[in-house]
Amino acid sequence: MANKEFESKLMSLQGNLLNFAYMLTSDRDNAYDLLQDTTLKALDNESKYVDNTNFKGWVFTIMRNIFINNYRRSVRSQTVVDQTEDLYHLNLSQDSGLESPEGSYGAGEITAAIDSFPDEYRVPFSMHVAGYKYNEIAERMGLPLGTVKSRIFFARKKLQAQFKDYR
């Protein structure tokens, strides 16, 4: 792929990447930082991209990996080593914001719940989470746009209900 074509494809994904970054970070400034890091990393690794590979998937994977690495780095940096004589810091209340450990969900649980959906809901919902626009999903699945939006809405509601009952 020519350099200009690569850059053009990358720039055309900026909107989708920003949406995905915002979904990951839930913060506008962090989303823009993640978008910038992803764009730079993709440009730096242009030579590693192989033609006939899903370009969009490749770039989204870069973003996801950067997000995960940044998260792990921040968790490590927040680790406190208590060097007080009576372990005062370890005895302080540790509030995670959740009522109990059962109140949090792992990615495996969420993925298993999504995988349990019938294909008619799972496929468009998974594509939407991956960053595809409604019209792209409709085109790929050969469905009307309203049907795609409806299925994604119902999949989201089903997922919310499933985890609401989980607590």
pLDDT digits (tens, 9 = 90+) for 136-163: 899 989 999 999 999 999 988 888 888 7
Is pLDDT at 2 greater than 90 in this prediction?
Answer: no
**Residue 70 pLDDT:** 86
Is pLDDT at 40 greater than 80 in this prediction?
Answer: yes
Is pLDDT at 167 greater than 50 in this prediction?
Answer: no
Q: Where does 1-80 sit in CATH, by number?
A: 1.10.1740.10
Q: How many angstroms separate the CA atoms of 62 and 41, rounded?
A: 8
**Residue 81 pLDDT:** 62
Q: At what angle do helices 145-166 and 119-129 cross, to 10 degrees?
A: 90
Residue with the larger pLDDT of the pair 74 and 118 = 118
Q: How many angstroms separate the CA atoms of 163 and 48, rounded?
A: 40
Domain 105-166 fold is Arc Repressor Mutant, subunit A (1.10.10)
Q: Where are the domains of the chain?
A: 1-80, 105-166
Comparing CA positions, the residue from 76, 80, 78, 100 lying closest to residue 90 is: 80
Q: How many angstroms separate the CA atoms of 93 and 165, rounded?
A: 28
Q: What amino acid occupies position 82?
A: D
